[in-house]
Amino acid sequence: MTDTCILDIGKYSSHFYSKKFIRREELTDSLNAIGASAFGLHDEWVKAGVSGPCLVYEVFKHYPGKGLLTYCERIFGPYHYQEDMPQLDWQLEDGDTVIVDYPCDKASTTFRQRHWTVYYTSECALDEGPWKLCGLPGLILYAEEDGGNFSFSCIGIESASKQTVAYRHIAISTKCTPQKMQRLKITEYADRKMFELQTMGISGEMYDANGKKVVEVPKKACLMEVYE
């Protein structure tokens, strides 16, 4: 899956999110306010070009306070947790490249059982990057996990209008721990019925167009990070 994401960097905090996901959430809030049906919601998503798969998580660094990271993800409903900002042990390596006209240097780190190789530019002296990656003497413009499952590549940098960073659904979001969210993701793929019971309190069977019961094959979740 490929998605277009935005990293908003402010004076005190930052916000990483999918452009499609946020637009879809805003559209859904507006339509729910006027009592739109689930079918109506989907039709409007299609019209607005925000249907289909996208990243359904947001990462706030130094929010709601300095040194804190807030991670939000929609798992049927919205969930969030807070943790200390990651302290990554970066290794500066030989190698350089140019990304969106910015000269970049190479670095690598291992973070929660995945090894990342990145390119960062000191011409943007911000210790920021996509997702939870941060802590280098420059903005991370490219990052790839060695297994080839996850990667981020900058396609442009521009000045943005001033706005306050805030998680819109914090009041209705379920607060949990990183470990609980990890268990939910694992269960979502391994045992759908149990996942539905844990997240919605109900469960049901799935049938195909011919009325035949669908036999689901357990799958293994591909996690970006592993909490032991």
Is 149 contained in some domain? yes
Is 19 contained in some domain? yes
**What pLDDT is attached to residue 30?**
79
Is 135 contained in some domain? yes
Check whether residue 172 and residue 80 sit in a common domain: yes
38 φ/ψ angles, rounded to the nearest 5 degrees:
-60, -40
Check whether residue 172 and residue 187 sit in a common domain: no
Check whether residue 172 and residue 71 sit in a common domain: yes
Check whether residue 127 and residue 149 sit in a common domain: yes
State how far Cα 209 lies from the chain centre: 33
Check whether residue 192 and residue 172 sit in a common domain: no
**What pLDDT is attached to residue 77?**
83
Is 159 contained in some domain? no
- Residue 95 is given by DSSP the state E
**What pLDDT is attached to residue 44?**
81
74 φ/ψ angles, rounded to the nearest 5 degrees:
-90, 110
Is 160 contained in some domain? no
The domain containing residue 15 runs over which residues? 5-85+165-176
**What pLDDT is attached to residue 226?**
95
**What pLDDT is attached to residue 96?**
96
In the chain, the number of structural domains is 3
**What pLDDT is attached to residue 201?**
81
pLDDT digits (tens, 9 = 90+) for 58-76: 999 999 999 999 999 998 7
**What pLDDT is attached to residue 68?**
97
**What pLDDT is attached to residue 95?**
94
Check whether residue 80 and residue 25 sit in a common domain: yes
Is 119 contained in some domain? yes
DSSP 158-212: ----------TTTTTSEE--HHHHHHHHHHHHH-HHHHHHHHHS-----B-TTSP
Please indicate, yes or no, whether the overall pTM of this predicted structure exceeds 0.75.
yes
Check whether residue 170 and residue 188 sit in a common domain: no
CB 121 within 8 A of CB 104: yes
Query: Using CA atoms, how far apart are residues 200 and 214, in angstroms rounded to an integer?
Result: 21
Token digits for 3?
């998605």
Check whether residue 127 and residue 99 sit in a common domain: yes
Q: What is the 3-state composition of the chain as percent helix, strand, coil, each rounded to the nearest 5? A: 20, 30, 45
Of 126, 120, 117, the residue nearest 102 (C-alpha): 120
Helices 192-200 + 178-190 axis angle, to 10: 140
**What pLDDT is attached to residue 38?**
66
Contacts of 24 (CB under 8 A, 6+ apart): 45, 48, 50, 51, 54
**What pLDDT is attached to residue 73?**
94
Which amino acid is it at 194? M
Query: Using CA atoms, how far apart are residues 73 and 223, in angstroms rounded to an integer?
Result: 13
Check whether residue 131 and residue 181 sit in a common domain: no
Token digits for 120?
């960062």
Is 158 contained in some domain? no
pLDDT < 70 positions in the chain: 38-39, 164-166, 171
